[in-house]
Amino acid sequence: MKQTKFSKLWDLLHSSFWFVPTLMVILAIGLSFLTIWLDQTLKTNIIEQLGWAYSLGPSGSRAILSAIASSMATVATTAFSITIVALQLASSQFGPRLLRNFMQDTGNQIVLGTFISTFVYCLLVLRTINGVEENEFVPHLAVTCGIGLAIASIGVLIYFIHHSASSIQVDRVIDKVGHELEDAITRLYPDKMGRSASKLNSEPLTEILTNLERNAYPIKTTDSGYIQTIDHQQLMQVAIENNLLLKVQNHPGNFVVQGSDLVLVLGEERFHKQLTQKINNTFVLGLQRTEQQDVEFSVNQLVEIAVRALSPGINDPFTAIRCIDQLSSALCYLAQREIPSPYRYDDHGKLRIIAEPISFADVTDAAFNQIRQYGNTSVSVTIRLLEAIAVIAPFTHNKDDRLALLRHANMIERGSQDLSEELDRQDIKEQYLAAVRAIKDRWSLKNLEN
């Protein structure tokens, strides 16, 4: 449970604009105290012998540090303004759910932290300069370090301008979301096809499921929100300690309402409030979906970009096609992974948890349904959907996956019948037949339809 909570905390910190800059400001404060201490400890003549060290008097040191501090404050304000504009453009062009990806950009966080840290460092060093003749003190090493930070900030500013311009390019955004989707597939479906199957159980499964359906009672959720993560290890521990069989009713990414069924429990004769709290504690709820255990989250991000591009106000089928390409790549990758078994056993081979996984068909539905519905009047988008199905089909390894692809190919072909141009319908029909040939490469169409 601690690992799941830590994962959520890290996700929140990583998605914020304050965490990295705060760490950098703390480092800048520490650096200022260190350099001032070195200036006070080292003899002045040793510092003056360093050819690269700053060695002017108090007035010049104040002027330089004041100029650096004021310029950093101005640049930081400008950088924040540019960042807000970029977020507004991303929200309007790609959708508000894509803002999280921009806020997770470590480059922007470091840029903002650099400017603020340099500003704080100069202020802290500036306060130690003493121009009184009897007690004159100029921290030459600290001032030199401040000049170095200012030069580094100029390089960071150049990087920030380039990064801001490139980060809102649609191809880069789609590519980044596509890589996040593949990472989520790797994390949630770790095994290749042909690896070890799920653990066998000596108990008759049909009898267990029948008993569960008749005698199980529900554990209600005590809060509302999106299921972000489920601590399956802790849930297994609760089931073992209380000799229970648990059936999870929702996937990560689902929205649950307070008082709705969260888990079905078999094995306890009476309702226990403490058990309810323990089970609820294994579910982490939040205000929004995350990609930690929700593979459909990144799929929906690509779909949202595609659907917005197909809206009449934008009418950009090329962006939608780019999203379809990324989705097809991810589905090819997913088709080669082994879908986890819904049945989880303890070390003694006793069934403890039933949790239906997100299947290939579920992800395919999430990827294609809305794009098909909103893009049925675009011939190029319709053809690319059928091309994607033809590309994905050779990577599938079981009948259910190919049936899912065939179902979508049929829906896409039927939706094209309303097109007014006969040649467009012929082109779509040809691509549909090509997709069907790819799907029935190993199994005959007759067997698929049966």
Say yes or no: 302 and 397 in one domain: yes
Question: Hey, what are 365's tokens?
Answer: 């539905």
Of 131-145, 307-321, 379-393, which one has max mean pLDDT? 379-393
In a domain? residue 248: yes
Say yes or no: 90 and 32 in one domain: yes
Q: Span 247-265, mean pLDDT?
A: 91
pLDDT for res 10: 66
Q: Span 410-420, mean pLDDT?
A: 88
Provide the pLDDT confidence category of residue 450 given band limits of 50, 70 and 90.
Answer: very low
In a domain? residue 162: yes
In a domain? residue 31: yes
Provide the pLDDT confidence category of residue 153 given band limits of 50, 70 and 90.
Answer: very high
Write out the DSSP string of 252-269: TT-EE-TTSEEEEEES-S
Q: Taking 60 as the threshold, does the pLDDT of residue 51 lie above it? A: no
Q: Span 32-49, mean pLDDT?
A: 74
Last-in-domain residue among 286, 313, 330: 286
Whole-angstrom Cα distance, residue 411 to residue 370?
12
pLDDT for res 445: 46
pLDDT digits (tens, 9 = 90+) for 331-362: 999 999 888 888 888 888 888 899 988 999 99
pLDDT for res 334: 94
Last-in-domain residue among 242, 259, 286: 286
pLDDT for res 195: 36
Q: Taking 90 as the threshold, does the pLDDT of residue 136 lie above it? A: no
Say yes or no: 151 and 210 in one domain: no
Q: Tell me the β-bridge partners of 344.
A: 353
pLDDT for res 199: 45
Closest CA to 140 of 260, 236, 21, 56: 56
Q: Taking 80 as the threshold, does the pLDDT of residue 169 lie above it? A: yes
pLDDT for res 113: 92
Say yes or no: 164 and 186 in one domain: no
152-166, 256-270, 417-431: the lowest-pLDDT one = 256-270
Q: How far is the CA of 115 from the CAs of 144, 169, 188, in angstroms?
A: 17, 25, 38
* DSSP element (H, E) containing 354: strand 351-354
pLDDT for res 41: 82
Say yes or no: 306 and 334 in one domain: yes
Say yes or no: 281 and 427 in one domain: no
In a domain? residue 250: yes
Better-predicted residue by pLDDT, 43 or 221: 221
Question: Hey, what are 186's tokens?
Answer: 């790797």
pTM: 0.80
Say yes or no: 322 and 439 in one domain: yes
pLDDT for res 200: 45
Q: Taking 90 as the threshold, does the pLDDT of residue 216 lie above it? A: no
CA angle 246/251/254 to nearest 5° reads 130
Q: Span 173-190, mean pLDDT?
A: 88
Whole-angstrom Cα distance, residue 352 to residue 236?
7
3-17, 86-100, 308-322: the lowest-pLDDT one = 3-17
Closest CA to 334 of 279, 277, 395: 395
Looking at residue 52, the DSSP 8-state letter turns out to be T
In a domain? residue 32: yes
Closest CA to 62 of 136, 16, 125: 125
Residues 218, 258: contact at Cβ < 8 Å? no
Q: Taking 60 as the threshold, does the pLDDT of residue 212 lie above it? A: yes
pLDDT for res 98: 73
Count how many residues are written for the chain.
450
* Residue 268 Rama label (left phi>0; alpha psi -120 to 50; beta): beta
258-262, 312-316, 363-367: the lowest-pLDDT one = 312-316
Provide the pLDDT confidence category of residue 47 given band limits of 50, 70 and 90.
Answer: low
Percent of the chain at pLDDT above 70? 87
CA angle 51/56/59 to nearest 5° reads 160
Q: Span 207-235, mean pLDDT?
A: 86
Say yes or no: 123 and 254 in one domain: no
In a domain? residue 116: yes
Residue whose entry in the numeric block shows the structure tokens 């589905």: 331
Mean pLDDT of the chain: 84
Say yes or no: 190 and 254 in one domain: no
Q: Taking 50 as the threshold, does the pLDDT of residue 56 lie above it? A: yes
Whole-angstrom Cα distance, residue 170 to residue 176?
10
In a domain? residue 19: yes
Q: Span 111-130, mean pLDDT?
A: 92
Say yes or no: 260 and 368 in one domain: no
Percent of the chain at pLDDT above 90? 36
135-144, 329-338, 361-370: the lowest-pLDDT one = 135-144
Say yes or no: 277 and 299 in one domain: no
Strand, helix or coil at 378? coil
Number of structural domains the chain divides into? 3
Better-predicted residue by pLDDT, 5 or 371: 371
pLDDT for res 102: 75
Q: Taking 60 as the threshold, does the pLDDT of residue 55 lie above it? A: no
In a domain? residue 237: yes
**What is the domain range of residue 100?**
2-168
Say yes or no: 333 and 413 in one domain: yes
Q: Span 5-16, mean pLDDT?
A: 68
Q: Span 194-213, mean pLDDT?
A: 60
Q: Span 352-376, mean pLDDT?
A: 92
Question: Hey, what are 76's tokens?
Answer: 């930081």
